[in-house]
Amino acid sequence: MSWETVIGLEIHAQLATRTKIFSGSSTAFGAPPNTQANLVDLGYPGVLPVLNQQAVKMAVKFGLAVGATVATRSVFARKNYFYPDLPKGYQISQYELPIVEHGKMDILLEDGSSKTIRITRAHLEEDAGKSLHEDFHGFTGIDLNRAGTPLIEIVSEPDMRSAKEAVAYMKKIHTLVRYLDICDGNMQEGSFRCDANVSVRRVGAEKFGTRCEIKNLNSFRFIEKAINYEVARQIELIESGGTVQQQTRLFDPDRGETRALRSKEEANDYRYFPDPDLLPVVLDDLFIDGIRATLPELPDEKAQRLVRDFDLPAYDAGVLTGSREVAEFYEKVINEVKGDAKQNAKLAANWVMGEVLGALNRDGLDITESRVSAEALALLLSRINDATVSGKLAKEVFEAMWSEGKGADDIIDAKGLKQITDVSAIEKVIDEIMAANSKQLADYRSGKDKLFAFFVGQVMKITAGKANPNQVNDLLKKKLAG
């Protein structure tokens, strides 16, 4: 009997505003505990929240980018529960009337086909602080620097059918929020994380199985592992005669398993109601259109354009637009390289995907930390195009640029890698070789065509690979023919 997995994700993306969603405190990460929490963040008696307009703009930007409906009227509500890192005893969130509804995101499946994941809603809310359970000798430390940091919670429909699909979706959203410049996407710092709702059902069944929610997954690897573990756990449970209980579960990365945190019965009744301290957020078309006008070219649009304009393979276009920074790097290269646009696009694609990403990967660097800048790479590719250096030697030049931090021209000069394109110089070398290899010459002339490669090799050997291969070919053919 085979099983189908059903997954929905709730992604929390921290908005990259300078200040908090309802107060003027800084949102910068890593400050000493409780130094970025003012009276509003601390929930002092009498203080009131004031909405950060920037956070609204970012949420709208997201909504427009996923083709969603942006609500002209949305309402903040209070989600009531007690916890020490929740200073007011309630979290300000949006409940019945979120700012974004009915969006979608396409993901690429392994078989190359694409699938649409529906986005139910995305709402604005404030983050809680952090409880620190270590190092306090039986006490719990509270750091409220994060309290009040703006988030959008992006809720999908249960449209994903495998952990891989969930990861693909999460990655697409991750790429998008960084393109939009509304979230730094830093998963280690918790700026981008998700809760996964996972259930299983018999293939062909109409009703969804009972779901479990796995909280706070903050790496793509953990998401895949946690979901796969949870799916196996649920199937095993049902097949051995048990039933899945609706639960909130935590993933333990050290053990690679999920464990129960609380059951449905223990769940809080959050007693949501509209926050009387905040007015409804009312947006007019002018405001929304103004934000629409600031949208950058989105990753999917960009990839389609690369395929259409430059005949790039879809795979290459996908890789090159997979992050905003890689796309920017690539586009900077093709804008600066001289020569035929289509040829350059393909040339640059090969170099960025091959040499640059390879070197970054090897050295554990991010594209923004690349030791060879887009401009420097463009110059090197121009040197290939203008025949200053051969494609083969250019790789050697690139390696030297990477390790020495110098420009292509300096490396070519210093290493003497400049291609020999002077006809008389090449002819002179050919004459010498013909003189020194009279037997091979005779054989060639009597019909042993394969010996042509021998002569090419000789020329390259003597010129240390610097002779222009096309010229060598042409000149050799003429001279050998006699």
Partner 1 sequence: MAELHTLTLAELAAGLKSRAFSSVELTRHFLSRIEKFDAELNAFITVTPELALAQAADADMRIATGTASRLTGLPLAHKDIFCTDGVLTTCASKMLSNFISPYDATVVGRLKQEGMVMLGKTNMDEFAMGSSNETSFYGAVKNPWDLAKVPGGSSGGSAAAVAARIAPVATGTDTGGSIRQPAALTSLTGIKPTYGRVSRYGMIAFASSLDQGGVMGLSAEDAALLLQSMAGFDERDSTSVDMPVPDYAATLNQSLKGLKIGLVKEFFEQGLSEENIKPVKEALTVYEQLGAQLVEVSLPNLPLSVPTYYVVAPAECSSNLSRFDGVRFGYRCESPRDLMDLYTRSRGEGFGSEVKRRIMTGTYVLSAGYYDAYYLRAQKIRRLITEEFAAAFQKVDVLMCPTSPTTAFDIGAKVDDPVTMYLNDIYTIGANLAGLPAMSIPCGFLAGLPVGLQIIAGHFAEAKLLNVAHGYQQVTDWHKRMPERYA
> Which positions touch partner 1 (CB under 8 A)?
39, 42-51, 78, 80, 82, 84, 87-90, 140, 142, 269, 271-273, 276-279
Least CB distance from residue 274 to partner 1, whole Å? 9
Residue placing its CB nearer to partner 1 in the complex, 30 or 276: 276
Q: Name which of 144 and 176 has its Cβ closer to partner 1.
A: 144
Shortest Cβ 16–partner 1 spacing (Å): 23
Smallest gap from Cβ 38 to partner 1, in A, equals 10
Cβ closer to partner 1: 150 or 185? 150
**Residue 84 or 358 having the CB closest to partner 1:** 84
Q: Which of 481, 470, 384 shows the shortest CA–CA distance to 423? A: 470
Minimum distance from residue 92 beta carbon to partner 1 (Å): 11
Least distance (Å) from partner 1 to the CB of residue 58? 19
Sheet of strand 257-263, all strands in order from the earlier edge strand to the far edge: 69-70, 100-108, 114-126, 150-156, 3-14, 192-202, 212-217, 247-252, 257-263
Amino acid at position 413, single letter: D
Q: What strands, in cross-sheet order, belong to the sheet with 273-274? A: 90-94, 76-80, 273-274
Over the range 428-442, which residues count as b (16 or more CB within 10 Å of their CB) and which as e? ebbeebbeebeebbe
DSSP string, 254-319: TTTEEEEEEETTTS-----EE-TTS--EE--HHHHHHHHTTPPPPHHHHHHHHHHHH---HHHHHH
- Dihedral, CA of residue 221, residue 222, residue 223 and residue 227, to nearest 10: 120
Residue carrying the six token digits 């490396």 = 411
Report the C-alpha gap between 169 and 165 in whole angstroms: 6
Closer residue to partner 1, CB minimum distance, 78 or 146: 78
Q: Give the nearest distance from C-beta 50 to partner 1 in angstroms.
A: 5
Amino acid at 480: L
Nearest approach in angstroms of CB 272 to partner 1 is: 8
In this structure, are strands 3-14 and 150-156 parallel, antiparallel, or unpaired?
Answer: antiparallel
**From the CB of 93, what's the least distance to partner 1, in Å?**
13
**Residue 279 or 341: which CB sits closer to partner 1?**
279
Based on CB atoms, which residue is closest to partner 1, 147 or 378?
A: 147
Q: How many CA atoms lie within 13 A of 226 on its CB side?
A: 31
Q: What is the rounded distance in angstroms from the CA atom of residue 164 to the CA atom of residue 464?
A: 49
Nearer to partner 1, 24 or 457 (CB): 24
